A and B are shown apart, each in its own frame.
Chain A
Amino acid sequence: MKGFLQYIPGNSILHQLSPITKLALSVLLCACAFLSSSILYISFLLLLVLGLSAMSGIGRSALQIFSLLLKLSLILFLAQIFFIREGDVLVRLPLNLFITDEGLAFAILIALRLMLSALPLALIITVTPMSDLAGAMVQKLRIPYKYAFALTTAIRFIPIFSTEISEIIEAQRARGVNFDTKNIFKKIRLILPLCLPLLVSSIKKTEYIALSAEMRGFALRNRKSGYKSYAFKGRDLIALLAGVFIIAASLLINLP
């Protein structure tokens, strides 16, 4: 999980777009995922997103997030596929379970929708520094800085927590705890005590962050406080037009 959901510096178009454009584009893609009910079109958009990421040098993170989403959507897929009983039966299974063609199509659609709606949002994090995301949200979307800060801090904490957990596990291994056991119950019993140091350190960390933000004049910050401006450039316009085109296409095109 190294580097998961972490900003990767770069100079690609995706990096250069305004954070607001990127947010808007991912919202548009998310909308497409639910407006279109074409498996082909949604797959095409997914491929487009993955292709763009590869071109922007974040292909590896994109694949990492994609494979995580794939696992999640597999659960969704399995949950759906047996519940739809209309259509022609394709496969009959024991326990009166069967898979129909409509069920299969719908389950695939749901899984693809989940992936397309989450992937671009997750990818924003890898191509946008958190401070820019927060800054642009405050300046352009007029979101109070408090909330923008809370959101970006929460996202920033994901990789911090994952390293923290691995360091705590390392410390316990140093004391002689053997985590290599195959027995799942034994493993849970070993990992449970680790929640304590993690909990303590995260509560402490949030307290320290709140204090240190307070000390540095957090409350004084207003909308004009950012030292960067997030101008809307020509490339943002083009990107947004492309987004609008994609969403229009999702309404107009009637692919299977």
Chain B
Amino acid sequence: MIIFDNVSFSYGKTQIIEKISFRVAPGEFVAIVGPNGAGKTTVSKLARGLLRPTSGTVTIDALNTRTTKASKIARTTGFLFQNPDRQICQNTVRDEIAFNLKIQGKSDDETTSRVEELISLFGFDPNASPFRLSRGERQRLALASALSAKPKILILDEPTTGLDYRECMKIMNLIKSENLAGTTVFMICHDMEIVSDFAERILVIADGRLIADGNPDTIFFNKEICAKAALLPPQIAELSQRLGGAYQGIRHVDNLFGAIRKNFKGEATL
């Protein structure tokens, strides 16, 4: 559960976030979208308690971030930075994944088995040096260590940026399966195809303000909001919108295709 209650934040005198309120229920999959510099990363850091609001309150997993140590929130929350290099600090891939678990005082057996599990899941070479990995590989490593302690809440700042299509899908499916198992996912993403396919709900942030909060259908079909936040809706959403009527709101190729086929039964073959 993440609750933003009238949250504002400024760096010095520049106001970055202005009076944002929303709540994310346990088990939800929420995407945050918006143009560059809108304040998405700032919102994610506020949610994680790395930044404290200038006014208003942020609550994560029933802890007020103003009065809770950031290190304590780590027990329940996994966090992926936009720049994975900041968090990588160990000499081998294995140690890097084990780091979170060790910090949280997990037993050696538990740590080892979880680390081996993640290594085979992601297909890492456990003895490689993290600093020699490619950018996409470092991103995946950072994600693996964020997942290591089986967090109840996952906050991800652009988890798929810089990954190839196959890796991107692998990671998104992994995140989705965590979500289906009950993990709350709070994800920043610039790829509307991914947002449309995976998120149940979208928060649109522009200029430090929350300008829309709703399910992908309502957001992607709202031209005004899309223009304001520089969003390009997925093509399939655009198509179903233009077809109108019963097709409206369909965001998956197979479903749209099925619907069209049903309508044209007997008259045309698709």
Chain A residues in 8 Å Cβ range of B91? 196
Q: From A201, which residue of chain B is reached at the shortest CB distance? A: B85
Are B12 and A200 in touch, CB under 8 angstroms? no
Are A194 and B100 in touch, CB under 8 angstroms? no
Q: Does B201 contact A (CB under 8 A)?
A: no
Task: Assess A171 versus B86: contact at CB under 8 Å? Given A2-B12, A178-B71.
Answer: yes
Chain A residues in 8 Å Cβ range of B131? 200
Q: Which of B45, B75, B89, B145 contacts A197 (CB 8 A)?
A: B89
Task: Assess A174 versus B89: contact at CB under 8 Å? Given A2-B12, A180-B69, A200-B131.
Answer: no
Within 8 A of B (CB), among A155-214: 167-168, 170-180, 193-194, 196-197, 200-201
Interface size class of chain B, counting residues whose CB lies under 8 Å from the partner chain: 20 to 34
Are B12 and A171 in touch, CB under 8 angstroms? no
Chain B residues in 8 Å Cβ range of A2? 12
Chain B residues in 8 Å Cβ range of A194? 89
Are B86 and A197 in touch, CB under 8 angstroms? yes
Are B48 and A174 in touch, CB under 8 angstroms? yes
Are A176 and B89 in touch, CB under 8 angstroms? no
Q: Which of A167, A177, A197, A200 contacts B71 (CB 8 A)?
A: A177
Are B69 and A174 in touch, CB under 8 angstroms? no
Chain B residues in 8 Å Cβ range of A197? 85-89
User: What separation, in Å, do the CA atoms of A168 and B74 have in the docked complex?
Assistant: 16
Are B99 and A178 in touch, CB under 8 angstroms? no
| B9 → chain A closest CB, angstroms | 15
Chain A interface main SS type:
helix
Q: Does B121 contact A (CB under 8 A)?
A: no
Are B48 and A172 in touch, CB under 8 angstroms? no
User: What separation, in Å, do the CA atoms of A201 and B130 have in the docked complex?
Assistant: 13
Task: Assess A174 versus B104: contact at CB under 8 Å? Given A193-B89, A193-B90, A197-B89.
Answer: no
| B137 → chain A closest CB, angstroms | 15
Chain A residues in 8 Å Cβ range of B89? 168, 172, 193-194, 196-197
Are A175 and B100 in touch, CB under 8 angstroms? yes
Are B86 and A175 in touch, CB under 8 angstroms? no
Q: What number of A residues sit within 8 Å (CB to CB) of B?
A: 20
Q: Does B172 contact A (CB under 8 A)?
A: no
User: What separation, in Å, do the CA atoms of A201 and B131 have in the docked complex?
Assistant: 9
Task: Assess A170 versus B100: contact at CB under 8 Å? Given A175-B145, A180-B69.
Answer: no
Task: Assess A178 versus B88: contact at CB under 8 Å? Given A170-B50, A171-B81, A173-B50.
Answer: no
Residues 145-179 of B, flagged 1 when their CB comes within 8 A of A and 0 if not, give 10001000000000000000000000000000000
Residues 227-270 of B, flagged 1 when their CB comes within 8 A of A and 0 if not, give 00000000000000000000000000000000000000000000
Are A174 and B90 in touch, CB under 8 angstroms? no
Are B87 and A172 in touch, CB under 8 angstroms? yes
Task: Assess A178 versus B69: contact at CB under 8 Å? Given A2-B12, A167-B86.
Answer: yes
Are B87 and A171 in touch, CB under 8 angstroms? yes
Are B86 and A168 in touch, CB under 8 angstroms? yes
Are B12 and A174 in touch, CB under 8 angstroms? no
Q: Does B62 contact A (CB under 8 A)?
A: no
Q: From A168, which residue of chain B is reached at the shortest CB distance? A: B86
Chain B residues in 8 Å Cβ range of A196? 89-91
Q: Which of A174, A176, A200 contacts B50 (CB 8 A)?
A: A174
Chain B residues in 8 Å Cβ range of A167? 86
| B148 → chain A closest CB, angstroms | 9
Chain A residues in 8 Å Cβ range of B100? 175-176
Are A175 and B99 in touch, CB under 8 angstroms? yes
Q: Does B180 contact A (CB under 8 A)?
A: no
Which of B71, B75, B99: most chain A Cβ within 10 A? B71
Given contacts A173-B50, A176-B74, 4 further A-B contacts (CB under 8 A): A173-B70, A174-B48, A197-B86, A201-B85
List B residues at the A interface (Cβ < 8 Å).
12, 45, 48, 50, 69-72, 74-75, 79, 81, 85-91, 99-100, 103-104, 131, 145, 149
List A residues at the B interface (Cβ < 8 Å).
2, 167-168, 170-180, 193-194, 196-197, 200-201
A-B complex: 4 closest residue pairs judged by Cβ atoms: A176-B74, A178-B71, A171-B86, A171-B87
